[in-house]
């Protein structure tokens, strides 16, 4: 009636209705979160029902990769030691190619050169010797006699290596100054302050932190000798333990697994960087430090050889310490972790926004507010902290399972192509000899990388059964 009170129209009633499931999650996806709040311009103060009441979540499905053959620790250390010996021989050829025939004229210089070569060889063999001892220690002796023989062999091997080092150092001390001898231990002097006392930034300190030990239920700082012994042990042997992915259902367990994997990955990368730089230093740089001032050699070619040795040692260690099974483990955790994209203030003002919760698995495309900032879910499942840069970096590196392998193939292929180009243009016999010997080792590494890439590319591109969220390589 005119002048009377009108009831709500049909259009006004439709504005206050609950949003659809597609609108609630911001464009589709999967989730199982609770206690979410929907905010819109036309609906103020209206609480949305839990997402779990509207959408049934599905687990992330992973591709199955075959068990690719991996070199044993003893075989790998033997191949790495053989490659470093070849590279050391090549560097000496490059330096002394014009005076190698006059060793009897300079007997004292030749003796010092031999002592330096022996010292470098023992330093390069440290990982191989430790691997042999570790492999022998794992075999359980069947009798007391075998146990005694095993202990005696270990003591004799370690004593022999120590005696050779002391003998060569004593002879080098007679021929060179103290400044030259400081170059012999420079890598260890750099490793102790940079690696032993480096602590990663974490929100909480766990009992497995490398700088703390747990005694009587309390965390106490480790002493210097314990910290040094644990870090040096990592340089002699490859890591034997690696985390296991169990597809944890709760967000807290997923984040805990990611933290463990980050620590383990950083430890492996630190070992790769140190050992590759250590090998390049003793193989290609240290012989240059003991060259006589009157000796002429090609500085550009020697420096180029130094860079090539470091790159090849880096790729070889990466292939051994980051095998395909380990990269697949990192990829699975990254698929469960997800990533958040920070949006500019004022964008998506008409889209429902939610308050971020650490106990919720957020679907792809949902908008959340965290620390007064707006974020958009990027991954299929998202449990990462929106403001945590390390979580975003972890997802960027490992959400594509073949990213690390493609990077290694690109590096090794570039080195091989450049060496082939240099071989075609080489005019000196020492350049041809050095490139030919080093290329043989590089071909083996490149073959393994390409084999793994072909097999894994087919495995990750194979369609998954069940229509789940399969993360494919790109």
For 225-265, what is each residue's pLDDT tens digit?
665 566 656 555 555 455 666 666 688 888 999 999 999 99
How sure is the predictor about 397, in pLDDT bands with cuts at 50, 70 and 90? very high
Could you report the per-residue pLDDT of 306-324, keeping only the tens digit for each? 999 999 999 999 999 999 9
Q: Span 259-279, mean pLDDT?
A: 91
Please report the pLDDT score of residue 239 as a whole number. 52
Please report the pLDDT score of residue 5 as a whole number. 46
Please report the pLDDT score of residue 470 as a whole number. 45
Could you report the per-residue pLDDT of 325-371, keeping only the tens digit for each? 999 999 999 988 888 988 887 776 677 778 888 888 888 888 888 88
Residue 279: which of 79, 71, 73 has the closest Cα? 79
How sure is the predictor about 418, in pLDDT bands with cuts at 50, 70 and 90? very high
Q: Span 79-98, mean pLDDT?
A: 89
pTM: 0.76
Please report the pLDDT score of residue 250 as a whole number. 81
Please report the pLDDT score of residue 359 as a whole number. 83
Please report the pLDDT score of residue 36 as a whole number. 37
Instruction: Write down the mean pLDDT value for the chain.
Output: 75
Please report the pLDDT score of residue 456 as a whole number. 92
Q: Span 364-386, mean pLDDT?
A: 85
Could you report the per-residue pLDDT of 148-198, keeping only the tens digit for each? 777 888 888 888 888 888 888 888 888 887 777 888 877 776 666 655 544
Determine the Cα angle at 403 with ends 398 and 409, to 5°: 150
Q: What is the C-alpha R_g of the chain? A: 30
Choose between 454 and 191: higher pLDDT.
Answer: 454
Six token digits for residue 167: 């003998």
On the question of pLDDT at 211 being above 60, the answer is no
How sure is the predictor about 293, in pLDDT bands with cuts at 50, 70 and 90? confident
Please give the torsion angle defined by the CA atoms of residues 187, 188, 191 and 196, in that order, rounded to the nearest 10 degrees. 170
Q: Span 10-24, mean pLDDT?
A: 38
Please report the pLDDT score of residue 228 as a whole number. 57
How sure is the predictor about 217, in pLDDT bands with cuts at 50, 70 and 90? very low
Q: Which residue has the tokens 């080195």?
A: 415
- Spatial distance between the Cα atoms of 40 and 18, rounded to a whole number of angstroms: 11
User: Which of the residue ranges 271-280, 287-296, 417-426 would you say has the lowest mean pLDDT?
Assistant: 287-296
On the question of pLDDT at 445 being above 60, the answer is yes
On the question of pLDDT at 462 being above 90, the answer is no
Could you report the per-residue pLDDT of 40-73, keeping only the tens digit for each? 333 333 344 444 434 444 567 778 888 888 889 9
**Sign of the dihedral defined by the CA atoms of residues 303, 307, 310, 312, in that order:** negative
Q: What percent of the chain has pLDDT over 70?
A: 68
Q: What percent of the chain has pLDDT over 90?
A: 27
Choose between 417 and 369: higher pLDDT.
Answer: 417
- Spatial distance between the Cα atoms of 161 and 130, rounded to a whole number of angstroms: 11
């Amino acid at each position: 009636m005119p002048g009377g009170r009108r009831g709500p129209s049909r259009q006004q009633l439709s504005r206050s209705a609950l949003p659809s499931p597609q609108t609630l999650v911001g464009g589709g996806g999967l989730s199982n979160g609770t206690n979410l709040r929907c905010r819109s311009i036309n609906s103020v103060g209206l609480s949305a029902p839990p997402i779990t009441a509207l959408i049934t979540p599905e687990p992330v499905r992973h591709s199955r990769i075959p068990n690719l053959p991996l070199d044993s620790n003893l075989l790998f250390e033997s191949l790495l030691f053989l490659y470093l010996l070849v590279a050391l021989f090549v560097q000496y050829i490059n330096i002394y190619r014009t005076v190698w025939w006059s060793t009897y004229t300079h007997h004292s210089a030749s003796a010092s050169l031999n002592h330096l070569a022996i010292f470098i060889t023992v330093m390069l063999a440290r990982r191989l010797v430790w691997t042999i001892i570790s492999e022998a220690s794992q075999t359980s002796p069947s009798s007391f006699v075998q146990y005694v023989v095993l202990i005696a062999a270990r003591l004799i091997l370690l004593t022999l290596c120590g005696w050779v080092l002391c003998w060569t150092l004593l002879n080098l001390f007679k021929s060179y100054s103290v400044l030259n001898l400081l170059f012999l231990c420079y890598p260890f002097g750099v490793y102790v302050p940079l690696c032993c006392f480096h602590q990663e930034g974490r929100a909480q300190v766990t009992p497995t932190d490398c700088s703390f030990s747990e005694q009587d239920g309390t965390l106490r700082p480790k002493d210097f000798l314990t910290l040094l012994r644990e870090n040096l042990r990592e340089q002699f042997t490859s890591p034997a333990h690696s985390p296991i992915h169990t597809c944890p259902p709760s967000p807290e367990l997923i984040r805990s697994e990611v933290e463990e994997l980050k620590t383990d990955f950083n430890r492996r990368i630190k070992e790769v960087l140190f050992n590759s730089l250590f090998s390049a230093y003793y193989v290609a740089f240290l012989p240059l430090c003991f060259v006589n001032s009157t000796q002429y050699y090609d500085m550009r070619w020697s420096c180029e050889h130094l860079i090539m040795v470091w790159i090849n040692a880096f790729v070889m260690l990466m292939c051994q310490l980051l095998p395909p099974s380990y990269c697949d483990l990192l990829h699975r955790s990254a698929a469960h972790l997800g990533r958040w994209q920070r949006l500019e203030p004022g964008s998506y003002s008409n889209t429902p926004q939610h308050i971020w919760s650490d106990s919720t698995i957020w679907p792809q495309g949902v908008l959340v507010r965290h620390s007064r900032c707006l974020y958009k879910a990027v991954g299929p499942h998202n449990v990462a902290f929106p403001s945590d840069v390390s979580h975003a970096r972890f997802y960027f590196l490992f959400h594509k399972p073949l990213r690390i392998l493609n990077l290694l193939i690109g590096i090794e292929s570039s080195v091989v192509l450049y060496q082939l180009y240099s071989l075609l243009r080489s005019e000196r016999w020492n350049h041809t000899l050095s490139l030919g010997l080093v290329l043989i080792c590089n071909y083996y590494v490149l073959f393994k990388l390409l084999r793994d890439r072909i097999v894994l590319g087919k495995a990750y591109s194979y369609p998954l059964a069940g229509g789940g969220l399969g993360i494919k390589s790109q």
